């Protein structure tokens, strides 16, 4: 048995656009993902988020399910377009009502609410004003943060400002596979900086309005390894590591942006004004770490996988979670860490009626939790773990084709059925140990 510390927090995570549906309900405005989904060819299976898991209407039943699994915490995100639907900036109280009911129901079930303010569903009206490329968005994020934290306050145990700003800036503005589908690296540099500035500006506001809540940010990391010791591969690995793994954490810990090129372009940093780096380096209570896989880097092309892969084609590299946490603890800045996402899409073909016997997913979780436990034993202050994801859900450009859930969702009937991995995770939580 691999035992976890007594107070270890076991949770599961989701995000608003991926599960809520109800995109037209109660005054919600359009998001960039609604617009992107309507763009022919943008979503591989041609689907959208209009219904998703219909969590907006089924949250009570969903929270009862969380309680039946013994979850101690639930990580969710708030849909900015429900709170500030249009350019007038008026606050939509009905949107706040929904999240307050969600939080109250979680608390009534003894589940700690872990909220993320921004998990990619930007209001379309802000994108119409140049989105994250326009520095004015920082003020809009501040306004939104005040409204949310002003209403939910200390009922929420923990606030994360952003989820995976790398993905927002890179996939949304450089590479174009995510909303808003733009393809300019200069826009991505500007977006990255304004995301970080919005984060750093929001931190003291959250502290003021929710003095007992923990405040942090959620970053994703994909450790980069060179395919060979060819200098070109080593250089490409450094560039990848800087852009994907250090670009956000290093300004946050006060080291500023990594130097050198990314995608062979050097950023002139003209968007960085006096005081910005100090704002971005606001002290945090925790760093949320999303870890799924590693990457092997080759200057002139893709490297075929040499390890078993998930249904996303991502290599399964469990020791990466230990190595990564050890590296991040080396910054000597964060008082605590949470794994805010870890999990896998699997083909889920072993079906018995609606029941999925996903032993491949059980193995993934078991191996990663065992490595995580080793990091804790080595002294890294990791306080909790959130499986991604509680439900099968809308996997962005892949639509509903990739299933990450502990709980199967039948997208025709919207029936929820815990998979073998959910029952296994329930037993892990009950035992506070992995066998």
Q: Which residues bind ligand IFM (CB under 6 A)?
A: 15, 18, 164, 290, 341, 388, 395, 404
Asked if residue 78 lies in contact with residue 148, where contact means CB atoms within 8 angstroms, the answer is: yes
Asked if residue 205 lies in contact with residue 145, where contact means CB atoms within 8 angstroms, the answer is: yes
Q: In the complex, what is the shortest distance from the CB of residue 15 to ligand IFM, in angstroms, rounded to a whole number? A: 5
Our CB check for ligand IFM shows the closer of 56 and 388 to be 388
Our CB check for ligand IFM shows the closer of 158 and 293 to be 293
Of these residues, 20, 127, 164, 244, which one is catalytic? Answer: 164
Our CB check for ligand IFM shows the closer of 273 and 305 to be 305
Q: In the complex, what is the shortest distance from the CB of residue 377 to ligand IFM, in angstroms, rounded to a whole number? A: 27
Of these residues, 127, 244, 341, 371, which one is catalytic? Answer: 341
Angle at 244 between CA 238 and CA 250, to 5 degrees: 85
Q: In the complex, what is the shortest distance from the CB of residue 120 to ligand IFM, in angstroms, rounded to a whole number? A: 7
Identify any residues that bridge with 12 across adjacent strands, giving them in sequence order.
Answer: 74, 387
User: Is 175 a known active-site residue?
Assistant: no
Q: In the complex, what is the shortest distance from the CB of residue 18 to ligand IFM, in angstroms, rounded to a whole number? A: 6
State whether the Cα torsion 11-15-21-23 is positive or negative.
positive
Identify any residues that bridge with 158 across adjacent strands, giving them in sequence order.
Answer: 114, 214
Q: What is the 3-state secondary structure (H, E, C) of 369-408?
A: HHHHHHHHHCCCCEEEEEEECCECCCCHHHCCCCCCCCEE
Question: What are all long-range contacts of 254-259, with beta carbons under 8 Å and residues at least 24 apart?
Answer: 254/281, 254/333
Our CB check for ligand IFM shows the closer of 220 and 240 to be 220
Question: CB-based contacts of 108: which residues, under 8 Å, 6+ apart?
Answer: none
Burial class (CB in 10 A: 0-12, 13-18, 19+), 70: middle
State whether the Cα torsion 64-65-68-70 is positive or negative.
negative
Distance separating alpha carbons of residues 26 and 268, to the nearest angstrom:
44
Angle at 423 between CA 117 and CA 48, to 5 degrees: 45
Q: In the complex, what is the shortest distance from the CB of residue 119 to ligand IFM, in angstroms, rounded to a whole number? A: 6
Q: In the complex, what is the shortest distance from the CB of residue 404 to ligand IFM, in angstroms, rounded to a whole number? A: 6
Helix (H, G, I), strand (E, B) or coil at 303: coil
Query: In terms of DSSP H, where are the helices of 47-92?
Result: 55-69, 80-83
Q: In the complex, what is the shortest distance from the CB of residue 81 to ligand IFM, in angstroms, rounded to a whole number? A: 17
Distance separating alpha carbons of residues 152 and 76, to the nearest angstrom:
13
Residue whose C-alpha is closest to residue 244's, from 302, 322, 167: 167
Residue whose C-alpha is closest to residue 220's, from 291, 324, 313: 291
Asked if residue 17 lies in contact with residue 120, where contact means CB atoms within 8 angstroms, the answer is: yes
User: Is 164 a known active-site residue?
Assistant: yes
Q: In the complex, what is the shortest distance from the CB of residue 233 to ligand IFM, in angstroms, rounded to a whole number? A: 26
Report, as residue numbers or ranges, the catalytic residues. 164, 341
């Amino acid at each position: 048995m691999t035992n976890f510390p007594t107070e270890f927090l076991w949770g599961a995570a989701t995000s608003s656009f991926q599960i809520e549906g109800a995109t037209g309900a109660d005054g919600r405005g359009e998001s960039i993902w609604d617009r992107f989904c309507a763009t022919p060819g943008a979503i591989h299976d041609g689907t959208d988020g209009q219904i998703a898991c219909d969590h907006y209407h089924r949250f009570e039943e969903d929270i009862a399910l969380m309680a039946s699994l013994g979850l101690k915490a639930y990580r969710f995100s708030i849909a900015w377009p429900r709170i500030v639907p249009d350019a007038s900036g008026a606050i939509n109280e009905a949107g706040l009502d929904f999240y307050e009911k969600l939080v109250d129901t979680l608390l009534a079930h003894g589940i700690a609410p872990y909220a993320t303010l921004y998990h990619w569903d930007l209001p379309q009206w802000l994108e119409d004003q140049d989105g994250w490329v326009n520095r004015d968005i920082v003020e809009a994020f501040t306004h939104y943060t005040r409204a949310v934290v002003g209403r939910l306050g200390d009922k929420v145990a923990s606030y994360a400002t952003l989820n995976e700003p790398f993905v927002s800036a890179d996939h949304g503005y450089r590479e174009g596979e995510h909303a808003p589908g733009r393809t300019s690296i200069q826009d991505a540099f500007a977006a990255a900086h304004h995301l970080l500035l919005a984060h750093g500006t929001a931190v003291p506001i959250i502290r003021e309005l929710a003095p007992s809540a923990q405040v942090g940010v959620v970053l994703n990391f994909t450790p980069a390894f060179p395919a060979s010791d060819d200098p070109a591969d080593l250089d490409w690995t450094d560039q990848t590591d800087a852009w994907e793994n250090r670009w956000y954490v290093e300004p946050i810990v006060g080291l500023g942006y990594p130097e050198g090129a990314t995608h062979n372009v050097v950023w002139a940093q003209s968007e960085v004004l006096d005081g910005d780096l100090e704002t971005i380096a606001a002290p945090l209570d925790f760093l949320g770490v999303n870890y799924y896989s590693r990457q092997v880097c080759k200057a002139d092309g893709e490297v075929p996988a040499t390890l078993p892969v998930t249904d996303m084609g991502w290599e399964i590299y469990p020791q990466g979670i230990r190595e990564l946490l050890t590296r991040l603890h080396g910054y000597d800045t964060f008082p605590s860490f949470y794994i805010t996402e870890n999990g896998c899409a699997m083909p889920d073909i072993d079906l018995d009626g609606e029941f999925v016997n996903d032993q491949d997913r059980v193995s993934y979780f078991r191996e990663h939790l065992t490595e995580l436990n080793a990091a804790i034993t080595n002294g890294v202050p990791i306080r909790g773990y959130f499986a991604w994801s509680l439900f099968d859900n809308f996997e962005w450009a892949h639509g509903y084709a990739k299933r990450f859930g502990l709980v199967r969702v039948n997208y025709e009937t919207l029936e929820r059925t815990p998979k073998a991995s959910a029952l296994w995770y329930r037993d892990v939580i009950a035992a506070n140990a992995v066998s």
